[in-house]
Chains A and B, each alone.
Chain A
Amino acid sequence: MKQGRVDLLVGFLMLLAALALIFLALKVSGLAFNQEIFGGGTYDVTASFTSIGDLKIRAPVRVAGVQIGQVTHIVLDKNYNADITLNINQNINNLPADTSASILQSSLLGDNYVSLSPGYSDQVLKNHSVIVTTYAATSLESLISTFMGSSSNNSNKNSNSQGNNNSGNSSNSGDSGNPANLKLGA
């Protein structure tokens, strides 16, 4: 095994490993060039929520669905509200000062993230600014129970009016125009 050949193959191994690393970094973990490692600077903004649901550190911060930063700290303040620190990329530096923050879920089974809706103020959010308007996280369970609760109220009202109508016009079939024709409570 000639020395030159050995060197060549060892270099080849290193090259393959480097390519694998680049593949894993960019294609697999989606490391973008303006993110953490190569970060071109960021600034911090805080927001206070009454409930943060499932929100974790490193959760994304999005505007119109596009990620602009991530959550870096979650602390409980003396009023028992959750104080979240949002770390936002420097290139997004024109968010109005009255931007609101809400905690949404990315899909039915997905993780929580912070969504910012830009406001109308002339001033912009800077480092250490505070977002005043926040909407707490809504959990799936409370959503479903609200939904079921309101619809069972609706169907009670409808069946009462249905009964009254039927006694009057029997030619009219059940299209009494109630949209929530739910068969709950059956």
Chain B
Amino acid sequence: MLLKIFIKILESWGRYFRINFLGFCQDFGASGVFVLRTIFGLFGFRYLINQIYAVGVLSLIIIAVSGLFIGFVLGLQGFYTLSRFGADQFLGQLLALSITRELGPVVTALLFAGRAGSALTSEIGLMKTTEQLSSMSMMGVDPLRRVIAPRFWAGVISMPLLTLIFSAVAILGGYFVTVHWLGVNAGSFWSNMQASVNFRDDVLNGLIKSLVFGFVVTWISVYQGYTCHPTSQGIAIATTKTVVYSSLAILGLDFFLTALMFGK
């Protein structure tokens, strides 16, 4: 009797796994075809600029403010711990390395996914629901080329720009808190930082990370919008999926990239 139940459970797991895993693989493959068609779609420069505005410029405030506060907090927390060992001259190094290597790319990407990614998904989802994408298709214009591709490239371009701004603002914020408020020596702050931060290894690697994140997050956002269920509930689900999948992808890729770049 128990054996029968066990077999039934295994069967349903098997079916569930087959449907979901295969479905996932199919979905993944479909999204691969999608991104290839998107990447190679040519479009006018004007559309790109408009989308960089929507995706990049409008995210500037949240990125800059977050960067500032993260810099403040890092400075404070670093000071509390390092000063116990009389090692507060290393604060500059702590700040710069943790921000350029990790916090800059990762936090920017997470904020981007939440603000710009979800906006992209819901915008494209709404265009799908109100049949704008279908009517464009019926007029002989490929919506992947005209609507999706500019948004995709805008995301890929904006992410590194925003990451640079985040990193710079965070380090400056840390500088103001540690030097001007907590009284750390400005000379040792900057010189220790400069001695330990290597442009190619740290800053550039952080930028490469942000490019990878930009590609993946924008891909997820745009794909979820394009393939959502054309109802208001469908758009809501797609937007949630964008934020969740993007966040998981960012953190997973960060681990992978960090091990690749900074592992000895």
Contacts and interface: CB of A to CB of B under 8 A. Distances in A.
Interface in A152-180: none
B257 interface: no
Interface residues of B, number: 30
Size band of the interface chain A makes with B: 20 to 34
Interface string A1-29: 10000110110111011011101110111
B149 interface: no
Nearest to A14: B161
Interface stretch (B29-37, B47-55, B115-123, B232-240): B47-55
A36 B197 contact: no
Interface string B183-203: 000000010011101111011
A58 B197 CA distance: 12
Given A24-B164, A30-B194, A12 B199 contact: no
Given A6-B49, A17-B165, A28 B171 contact: yes
B158 to A, nearest CB: 8
Contacts of A31: 199
Interface in B127-164: 158, 160-162, 164
A23 B171 CA distance: 10
Given A6-B53, A28-B96, A36-B200, A17 B195 contact: no
Contact of A10 (B49, B172, B200): B49
A20 B96 contact: no
Given A16-B60, A24-B167, A29-B202, 18 more contacts: A10-B49, A10-B56, A13-B52, A13-B57, A16-B165, A17-B160, A17-B161, A20-B165, A24-B100, A25-B199, A28-B203, A29-B96, A29-B197, A30-B194, A30-B197, A31-B199, A36-B199, A37-B199
